[in-house]
Structure 1
């Protein structure tokens, strides 16, 4: 199977699927460039993420789940910006053109794409190690994009969903932790099929003062917000939302999963304390639970309080692909 036959068979959409492409897509797959026309008064939000076998996913992952995650992690970036998905491109490197891989991969890709109304408009395929790179484009009203730099002293810190399941699944794969079969199935799904919080991001426009998606762990990603906003924060460990399986871990492992596990793809955002009702209304509109986990401080630095209100004095780390771990300072 050649490259162009591969594209035609698995990634070019026809009929009703093609007709349902977002109105901003003027020209999709089949030319040298896609043509997009954002609506008047809208800005384009663009993000790109790469998934590399052995680094971001295990060789045992099902192709359908791999495709879902490759698009989901990019949609999560749009969610953190408050943008509505419009179009995406796919660059796919693989050892060979294998229909047994490509058919379920395409199913998983388009199932999530259709759920979020986003069209595949181009990309590239090549022979090589398994590597998936997606670039997403979305629309957001001019001046309304959520950014990392808007947090202010006195704001509450919120997260969506629950934290830590993906890291727990990874540790089970590594053999460092053991859970029951049912728990492993749930946590593995969290790791391999994250659910991007696009509807919540859109609903938080005009409500949240800052936002970031949790891809590299709570502490690491919150650190980006604090740096961009020139503020600090205090988190209450007892409020961090998690599954019963994560809650049952001993304290060091629980903190590992909750604070710097990565791959949660929930939204972390801040909002003025006076906006609590608006935050809860946005969460209800999106159908996503949210939890207040701390506050933004004028004093720089990141502080963590345990269930007794005492400061946790050990170094807290966030994930970094090249440095391996990044330390956040606490008292």
Structure 2
């Protein structure tokens, strides 16, 4: 079997045109564009916690990068570079080759150079650091939501959680919906272009990774505001699924990697036009309130409060 360094050379050493120096030395050498800030994020994917043991390696390679690109997107940053560290239980070259193909497919789609990393033997655990850049005054932060802002959501939350429920035998999905939901779980699409276009339109933003309500709570707490989210303004629930399960997945399922953001009321027409241009639904699903600070209220079509205790995923809950 190939050595550690041979595996890296064969499958992870690719041209890095955006780096002064890529893999093969003690460090990569990177030069940000003039006048730009760097945005840096790290995500860890652990077998049994973030993905099932029999997950397709190519899909896992894609997702390992995609989840970190989603963080960059939520800040309005353009992705540039990535570093990958991981532990693997065996030196299965077929698995590594398929994983690398998925990783570099995602990297190629978003013009990301993989410039280094590390590997060791151990339980399957993948840790990726992504680096992007953006103008100094354009970062989309969690602490910038303002009372009176509209609350917007891209795409459709809940599909990934339904896909996981199907794979775990907690739900049975029809063939078409099953394919959609499992793909959403295993090969999410980071909203990179949306994040960049929101730099001049949104006030605050976050990517939905732990659950819609959980991540909205991060925004309202850091912005010192409250929020109301309307069930009637969210994407329609998938048909053929028990409604309570579908609603739970939509509000608290997580693993969606959509962007939740706030914007002034007078931006509605521009955001509607952007949705059409990107061919990506943007749902005006609620509003930011002055009070109660740090709280999120869920209401029905008539504006009446709905009791929904579940919020989202917590590794230590």
TM-score normalised by the shorter chain: which range applies?
over 0.9
Equivalent residue for 1:137? Answer: 131
Q: Is the partner of 1:320 in helix, strand or coil?
A: coil
For 1:122 and 1:312, the matched residues in 2 are separated by 48
- Residue by residue over 1:157-179, the C-alpha shift from the partner in whole angstroms, topping out at 9 and shown as x without a partner, is 00101111111111112222112
Equivalent residue for 1:263? Answer: 255
In the TM superposition, what are the counterparts of 1:1-331 in structure 2 within 5 Å? 1-13=2-14, 18=15, 21-22=17-18, 25-242=19-236, 244-245=238-239, 248-300=240-292, 301-323=295-317
> Cα offset for 1:43?
0.2
For 1:312 and 1:143, the matched residues in 2 are separated by 38
> Cα offset for 1:285?
4.0
Q: Report how many residues are paired.
A: 314
> Cα offset for 1:315?
2.1
Q: Is the partner of 1:310 in helix, strand or coil?
A: coil
For 1:251 and 1:279, the matched residues in 2 are separated by 30
> Cα offset for 1:182?
2.4
Equivalent residue for 1:328? Answer: none
Ranges in structure 2 where 5+ consecutive residues have no aligned partner: none
> Cα offset for 1:253?
1.3
Q: Is the partner of 1:10 in helix, strand or coil?
A: helix
For 2:44 and 2:271, the matched residues in 1 are separated by 32
Ranges in structure 1 where 5+ consecutive residues have no aligned partner: 324-331
For 2:237 and 2:63, the matched residues in 1 are separated by 21
Work out whether residues 157 and 296 of structure 1, in 8 Å CA contact, stay in contact via their aligned partners in 2: yes
TM-score under structure 2 length normalisation: 0.96
- Residue by residue over 1:208-258, the C-alpha shift from the partner in whole angstroms, topping out at 9 and shown as x without a partner, is 00000000000000000001100001111011114534xx43342122111
> Cα offset for 1:312?
0.6
For 2:26 and 2:141, the matched residues in 1 are separated by 32
For 1:272 and 1:84, the matched residues in 2 are separated by 23
Work out whether residues 203 and 285 of structure 1, in 8 Å CA contact, stay in contact via their aligned partners in 2: no
Q: Is the partner of 2:311 in helix, strand or coil?
A: strand
For 1:121 and 1:234, the matched residues in 2 are separated by 42
For 1:314 and 1:168, the matched residues in 2 are separated by 18
For 2:237 and 2:246, the matched residues in 1 are separated by 11
TM-score under structure 1 length normalisation: 0.92
> Cα offset for 1:313?
2.5
For 1:117 and 1:285, the matched residues in 2 are separated by 21
Q: Is the partner of 1:7 in helix, strand or coil?
A: helix
Work out whether residues 203 and 286 of structure 1, in 8 Å CA contact, stay in contact via their aligned partners in 2: no
Q: CA RMSD in A?
A: 1.3
Work out whether residues 65 and 192 of structure 1, in 8 Å CA contact, stay in contact via their aligned partners in 2: yes
Q: Is the partner of 1:194 in helix, strand or coil?
A: coil
Question: 1:242–1:215: structure 2 CA closer, same or farther, 3 Å change rule?
Answer: farther
Question: 1:31–1:285: structure 2 CA closer, same or farther, 3 Å change rule?
Answer: farther
